[in-house]
Structures are given as structure tokens and as C-alpha cells.
Structure 1
């Protein structure tokens, strides 16, 4: 599951629009006077997200992440506490203009091509807030009865991005009853990952 674990607090993920990438995020960081301190190449085969990290005042950092699985880019801010991080969220969002969840909901609702449904399902999962969002849950859940295998798979991945345990009964249902063996297998692995996180708490 996608996370930044070495920080006490991190913002939501802000999913970037096409054409907005490392160069634009670097421009925002330079405008803040922040220094690039780390670069991690993306490795899809190993499940490693690509990351560029800029460090600013008070140990607050700006992260440009390219998700290992989907290749979708997003930014987040992280630091020692919410009060330390929050003042920087507005300026970053204003400059980068990431997708909003209502925009992504509309794109998914209107998508008539499987590729569009896949892409926007994954974007919704990445853009979901840490707190349970019923509209996110409804949109992702809706993919589980899609006739296209890749869309159902995208819904499984999107659930992992949210971390919402509320998806577990549906994922278990897919693991037992989906008509495609490799989707059943993937759902089983994802359900086990959710359950192992529960056991670790």
C-alpha cells in the first residue's frame, strides 16, 4: 500500500493532471526555497514508487511520487506534525492545481471506455482522504461488477490505496466468486494484506 512511513504526519495525496510532473513540482519547491534532497527511481517490478523529495523549513518535505503500479503522479507534504505541514498545503495545491475528487467522480461516472474507467478509478483511490469517504467507497465498489477484467482489477488496487477496511467484505467476495482466476488470486492477496494490517494493530 502506498504510504510515507518515516514521518509523523502526512497530508492527503494530490493527484496531478496530465502534463504536470517533476518539472512543475520542482518549480513549486524552488519557489518555496526548498532543496531537493532525495531521488528514488521507480521500479514497477519491485513495487517501488518513484520519488523526488524536497526539504523545507521545520523538517517539512514535499514529495513528488510516481506510483509503482499505476504510473500515476501525485504530491504530498510530510513533516513532524499537522500544524507544521498545513500552512504549505494551500500554496502547493494552488500552484499545481491537482484533480479534485468531485472532478474524478464525474470523469469516472461518464467514462465509456475501459481504459478511462481504469485510470480514473486508480486516481480516485490515490486521491482519497485518510478518513473514510462514502463517495470514494461507492465509486470504487461500483467497479467490482464491471464486465472488464482490468476495471475490476483497478478497483482492487484503488482499495489498497485508500486503506479503507470497509472494502474487505467485497474483496473477499471477489476472491471467492470472480469468474477470472487471476483476479480471484489477486483479491485473495489483497484481502490477506488488509487482514495482516489489522492483526498488527
Structure 2
């Protein structure tokens, strides 16, 4: 018998690390820690922890070094439980709403803020294709600055929408910066999957 697994949207938290607050929350509620992994920061994920909230309902906390961000995600066998839990956690931990992530891109005053906002938008992108998110990430991939193009490339790594495939292929073939061509090719290899 196959059990369906449902995932919430990634709840992008305010800072690059919110581990003390999340771990304290889980500890105070007596949630069972079921995963604690530290990875090589060169590969992006620095830390991943998971707690069992109830049988069939888990909370994941992930820190991403490339994006200088962290997020929560709820996973479980009951879609309604997953979504209700995610909504409560989003409010408790002040996760950025999808609208806020879009606004942060639109209101970025510097190239550095713009690149950071694009990365966070990609991290918080919904599972299903969203035209507004796509337009902003595509604009970053086509931007003049190499750092902004890099942010656009890496921001596609979480959504993995097939719609990004052509953009990544073009960058991999034609970008003036060899390192960006290589990065686009690497990210493009994983396009079409789901994190």
C-alpha cells in the first residue's frame, strides 16, 4: 500500500539562521528529533533537522548557505494537517508570504538586495508554476550583472519548473561568463524534479 506524502510550501524565515528559535519551539513541545544532518557548505545545505510532530506529520528546518536563508517545511500523509500546521508555523515564525517575497524583489534598492531577494523568491516559490514568480526570476537570469544572473540561475533550483529549462539551456550555451555557463548547466540537469 502506497501512502501519499504532502508537502507544504517552503516557509522562508526572516534570517539566515533561525535554528535556536525553531529548536527551542520543538523542544518545549516535546517533538521527537528524527534527523540532524550537517553538510558541506560548498554544496548549499548547511544544516537540516526534522522533528516528528505527530505520527505521519513532520517538520523540516533547512539552512541554505548559497541563499543565506533558512526555511521550514511540513510533510505528512494528510494534506489538511500539513497545510494547517504550515499556516500556524508561518505566523509563529514570521515566514515571508509569497506576496512579500515578490514585493522584496520589486522594492530592492541595490543589486545586492535584488540578488538576495531573487534567491529568497526562488526558495519560497510554490510547487506549481506561478507566472509572477517566473517573470521575476527570468528577468534576473537575463540581467546585465553577473551576480544577479547567478542569483537567477540558483533561484530556479528549488522550484525546478520545466519552464526554466529553456532559459537555463540558453545561459549554459551563451552566457559571457564561463562560470555562469557551468552553473546553469548544473542547475539545468536537475530541472523538472521536485524538492
Provide the TM-score with structure 1 as the length reference. 0.85
User: Contact (CA 8 Å) 1:42, 1:68: kept in 2 or not?
Assistant: no
Question: In 2, Cα distance between the equivalents of 1:68 and 1:18?
Answer: 12
- Quote the offset at 1:130 in angstroms: 0.3
Considering fraction of residues, name the structure with more helix: 1
Alignment map for 1:45-60 (pairs within 5 Å): 45-60=42-57
- Aligned equivalent of 2:83, options 74, 86, 104: 86
More off after superposition, 127-136 vs 30-39: 30-39
Alignment of 1:14 with 2:17, yes or no, is no
Equivalent residue number for residue 109 of structure 2: 112
Listed one character per residue, the Cα deviations across residues 101-127 of structure 1 (whole Å, up to 9, x for unaligned) are: 221222211223222112111100010
Q: Is the 8 A contact 1:143 1:155 kept in 2?
A: yes
Task: Report the number of matched residues.
Answer: 191
Match of 1:175 among 169, 172, 176: 172
User: Are residue 35 (structure 1) and residue 32 (structure 2) matched?
Assistant: yes
Instruction: Spell out structure 1 runs of 4+ moving beyond 6 A.
Output: none
The match for 2:22 among 20, 25, 39 is 25
CA distance in 1, matches of 2:175, 2:123: 24
- What per-residue deviation string (whole Å, max 9, x for no partner) do you get for residues 138-171 of structure 1? 1101102222111101101111211111011111
Distance 2:161 2:33 in 1: 32
1:59 is displaced (CA, Å) by 2.6
How big is the alpha-carbon RMSD for the aligned residues of Structure 1 and Structure 2? 2.2
- What's the TM-score, normalizing by structure 2? 0.87
Counterpart residue number, 2:187: 190
